[in-house]
Amino acid sequence: MKIFKDKHTLQREILKTKGISFIPTMGGLHKGHISLIKESKKSKFKTLVSIFVNPKQFNKKSDFRSYPRNTKKDIKILKKLRINYLYIPTSKDIYGFKTKNKVFLDKSSKKLCGKFRKGHFEGVLNVVNRFLEIIKPKYIYLGKKDYQQLYLIKKHIEKNKIKSKIIECKTIRENSGIACSSRNSNLNKNQMKIASDIFNYFTILKKELKKNYNLFNINRIKKDLINLGANKIDYIENYNLKSFQKIKKPNKKFNLFFAYYIKNIRLIDNI
């Protein structure tokens, strides 16, 4: 595994390759990231992982500061997985150049997380756009847990006619059902239990909604989540995955999208 800390050295190296399979991360690697890397290694291209905690996608400085970081541990994991390249840039390396492509922000960025985290998706698309211009990967591997993010990156790539192709990968979960997330490391045992109970609640609710959609009562659901231990709920919505529109008819295929807080830790998922 070769480690790069500046884009020019990285670019000189990857120019020799036939193509790159790219996994962008903010570190705090977990089973979800490992799954993406294993999928990437099935391709005929070399695997490149980035670790960069992007300041522009945090709308609270405290959230940016408290984001889990353990680069030494991450490097150990990546060495065991035998990836080809690791890119750990500085902010200057990422933001110190003018991009060719303009960031395209689809109107769906104002829904769900976009409604509650002002500037978040602008920050995400800005950094992804820059990574794509630096690396020019054949494939970029993204998980479905952050489905809205995945959808917006796809729209940006389509709009700018970027040649990189997104490979959508399933959400990887802990044994408790909780979606793997770097933020899970900030939860204590009791909080993990609350998150697991909430996941189980939504799993049962979705089955019930498929039989009787009239059971979708936001106020009742919010009350139930508070009783289970959530401290604040941002949203609970049903969306069609293909169109990424709110469902209007109960017979359509849908996922439940939800975001909530346990103390000051924000968790999102869709099932």
The CA–CA distances, whole Å, from 89 to 53, 58, 95, 130, 222 equal 10, 18, 10, 12, 41
Query: In the chain, what are the domains?
Result: 2-169 (3.40.50.620), 182-270 (3.30.1300.10)
Q: How confident is the model at residue 251 (pLDDT cuts 50, 70, 90)?
A: low
First to last CA, the chain: 35
DSSP letter, residue 59: S
The token pair at 70 is 């353990």
DSSP state of 198: H
Alpha-carbon span 268 to 69, nearest angstrom? 20
Q: Is the pLDDT of residue 249 over 80?
A: no
Per-residue pLDDT tens digits for 58-107: 988 888 988 989 999 999 999 999 999 999 999 999 999 999 999 999 99
Does residue 16 register a pLDDT over 90? no
Q: Which of 11, 181, 182, 142 is nearest to 89 (CA)?
A: 11
Distance between CA 154 and CA 133 in Å, rounded? 15
- State yes or no: pLDDT of 29 exceeds 80: yes
The three-class DSSP label of residue 188 is coil
Residues with catalytic roles = 33
The Cα–Cα gap between 93 and 87 comes to 11
Tokens of 23: 């996994």
Residue among 212, 226, 220, 237 at smallest CA distance from 261: 226
The conformation of residue 173, written as its DSSP 8-state character, comes to B
**Long-range contacts made by residues 117-123, C-beta under 8 angstroms, separation at least 24?**
117/59, 118/59, 119/56, 119/57, 119/59, 120/57, 120/58, 120/59, 121/57, 121/148, 121/149, 121/152, 122/56, 123/54, 123/55, 123/56, 123/57, 123/58
Listed in sequence order, the residues at least 6 apart from 257 whose beta carbon sits closer than 8 Å to its beta carbon are 112, 147, 148, 235, 236, 237, 238, 239, 268, 269, 270
Supply the DSSP string of 104-161, one letter for each residue.
P--GGGGSHHHHHSTTHHHHHHHHHHHHHHHH--SEEEEESTTHHHHHHHHHHHHHTT
The pLDDT tens digits for 214-247 are 889 999 999 999 999 999 999 999 999 889 999 8
**Are 103 and 119 within 8 A, CB to CB?**
no
What pLDDT score was predicted for residue 66? Answer: 87
Task: Give the whole-angstrom CA distance, residue 193 versus residue 190.
Answer: 5
Tell me whether strands 20-25 and 85-87 are parallel, antiparallel or unpaired.
Answer: unpaired
* pLDDT of 221: 97
On the question of pLDDT at 197 being above 80, the answer is: yes
